[in-house]
Structure 1
């Protein structure tokens, strides 16, 4: 509670500022693909706000041309510690649907929704109904060692749940189905279109899942070291073991004892690749890699696409296929 009270107060001020801000100001849209303004005579489309990249991708695939899907968290911004601005609050106030991952990923959601006056807003927690994992004992130990690290504590006041369900293609399918159901509930007249769009995208995710099962089922080793404990669901789904250097928050600094334990594990198991990620510094992974004469490689948690990735037309499936190749290479070394 001592961490939540000042955060809640600050966010309440943001909500208040949003409620009195002028509505005629030009807003910057974080949506990866620019969208033309609708004319007064154009048919009304659903206005959907999504929290961070995977939610935007899944919603866009299901909605198709029937909605304008917007992204709240800007490209290249790490979402764990992001907080909404008054302009972001205003977007939610005007939206028909808000889609977020849940499981504690978006720590700002409860406070924003409690202060919202948008009675027609459909709220979609995409991870609802999924079997969620708690952070491992090792990750909790890291958190205890770094008890003064505000980034970690603030981001995980949700009770130690792991929110990274979208990194398992099998669980991503369930999130897509949750979004499909919510959009049908909001606009039942478009039920057939939403269902067709969802089925088309789910077929691609099922093919991705099948490739993960095939490629990772026969690797030489089953353990991999990551800088950020984001890949627990992926590991569980495909029979692997994630060995995280730090905990669930990518900004968390690992303790000296945690670093020592990871180095010991890497040497004993002859690990040759240490994974780091986009959007945050690779310094910790680089340090351990130098210590054990290993290389580093990217394992992308898809918490947000960079502008370069967008320019190269990367998306959830292409990045997850790159992750599969990186994992297979490291696990067969």
Structure 2
């Protein structure tokens, strides 16, 4: 059971949430009945309902409003997580299970724009959590450093096109910092949503960035998730980009098994990023289709694709460049998620050419 001080804070948080005009999924699904059922529970690592909901309480403009402080939270607080995940992912019922990890036939992925007429760049990333460690809000400083040490040991052994350098945030020189900013690699301390979830403690301890010599393979260590594994390059060679990400993820798993369960697949800090956790995207110019943004959105949605501005969510298109990615991450395999994106982008290019 939670202690008296936490129970008091939880009651105050619930009351505060009820008093807001929030349209978050947290407010929608944290009914008085669910609150009473979950408020006294605690995971083995000590996470409470307060850890789960505090970001959404402090930020009433949240879309979702909850985070998982550790892997066990997804089961301990399932009565809150399950309906939110089902709602956000547009259908992932309590009885649904994530398929086993399957990257698919890597040779079936192609260059979606061999003539370099439409695609500016291609990127595939996944999130991973190292088993045996809680997620950010419950990590202590020693655990941050311990995890960093484990993955650093793996980075030092990477060879071939993955070979590169690790840059710890602690003690980073101004020159290195500027170089990483210029390359658009450096991540900053978390936004207010992460701050409110207690996801940025002990900053910058245990955080850092690895990239290969060609700057086409990148790993963020202990930013929002334990690891963000990213592969990218100019042009439309999705096959090459995806193969590199898969090779990197397989090598990094040698640092320790990744947190995964049969229901949700790979587990990360945010319930929007479960299952495959894969986001495959292109920066692409489709001037004729994009002349009618509503039509572009509707056409992309037909192929389960999501259209964002050039710099991602909540941004505008710069110079007619859009960020288009697979939308579904749960309920299908890794290979299927990337194939869905590949097929959708090929169709959008075909439509653009026909206009």
TM-score category (smaller protein): under 0.3
TM-score normalised to structure 2 length: 0.26
TM-score normalised to structure 1 length: 0.28
Q: Which has the higher helix share?
A: 1
The higher relative CO (CA closer than 8 Å, separation ≥ 6) is in: 2
